[in-house]
Amino acid sequence: MAHPLRTALPRSWYALFAHHAAPLPIQAQAIPLLLAGRECLLCAPTAGGKTEALVAAGLEQLKPEPKDRPQILYICPTRALVNDTFRRLSPIAARLGVRIGRHTADHPPDNTRLPALLITTPEALDSRLVRHPATLRSLRWLLLDELHLLAGSLRGDQLAVLVTRTRAIVRVDGGELRVAAASATVDAPEAVAARYLVNPEVVSSTEGGARWEVSRVSIGGLPEAVVALCAQPGKTLVFANARNDVEGLAHALRDQRPFGDSVYAHHGSLVKDERERVERQFLDRKNAICIATNTLELGIDIGDVDRVAMYGPPPDVASFLQRAGRAGRRSRVAELLLLERNQADHLRFEFLERAALEGKLYGALPAYHPASVVQQAASMLMQNRNRLVTAAAVLARLPPWQAGHLTEDRLTDILGARPDYFTRQPGGVFTAGKALEYAFDRGRMHSQIAGESAGVVVRDRLTQRAIGVVQSAGESGSMTIGGRAAVIASRRGDDVFVDRLPGTAALPAKFKPAGRPIWSQADARAYVEHLGLKKGHAGLAPGLWIHGLGDAAGLVFAAALARLGFVVEADGPLVLRTSESLLTLPPTDVPEVLIESALNKHERKLAKLTGQGPDFAHLPVGERERSLILALHPTALRRAWAGLVWTVISEDVVDRINLALGRT
Residue range 228-244, pLDDT digits in tens: 777 777 889 999 999 99
Q: Which helix (H) or strand (E) holds 34?
A: helix 25-35
State the average pLDDT over residues 624-653.
Answer: 95
The answer to whether 494 and 454 have CB atoms below 8 angstroms apart is yes
Instruction: Please give the model's pTM, rounded to 2 decimal places.
Output: 0.91
369: left (phi over 0), alpha (psi -120 to 50) or beta: beta
Of 187, 156, 151, 182, the closest CA to residue 46 belongs to 182
State the average pLDDT over residues 477-492.
Answer: 88
Q: In which band, very low, low, confident or very high, does the pLDDT at 94 lie, cut at 50, 70 and 90?
A: very high
Of 139-143, 204-208, 443-447, least confident by mean pLDDT is 204-208
371: left (phi over 0), alpha (psi -120 to 50) or beta: alpha
Tell how strand 288-292 and strand 429-432 pair up: unpaired
Q: In which band, very low, low, confident or very high, does the pLDDT at 51 lie, cut at 50, 70 and 90?
A: very high
% of the chain at pLDDT higher than 70: 95
- What are the C-alpha distances in Å from 328 to residues 86, 212, 294, 357, 409? 22, 9, 18, 16, 55
639: left (phi over 0), alpha (psi -120 to 50) or beta: alpha
State the average pLDDT over residues 92-121.
Answer: 93
Q: Kindly report, residue by residue over 15-39, the tens digit of the pLDDT.
A: 998 777 788 899 999 999 999 999 9
Give every strand in the sheet of 429-432, ordered side by side. Answer: 388-390, 429-432, 422-425
Q: Return mean pLDDT, the chain.
A: 90
The answer to whether 326 and 235 have CB atoms below 8 angstroms apart is no
State the average pLDDT over residues 645-654.
Answer: 93
Of 211 and 531, more confident = 531
What local confidence, expressed as pLDDT, does residue 657 receive?
93
Tell how strand 544-546 and strand 569-571 pair up: unpaired
Q: In which band, very low, low, confident or very high, does the pLDDT at 363 lie, cut at 50, 70 and 90?
A: confident
What local confidence, expressed as pLDDT, does residue 477 receive?
82
What local confidence, expressed as pLDDT, does residue 209 receive?
64
Residue 428 has pLDDT above 60, yes or no: yes
What span, in angstroms and rounded, lies between the C-alpha atoms of 566 and 274?
53
In one-letter notation, the amino acid at residue 402 is Q
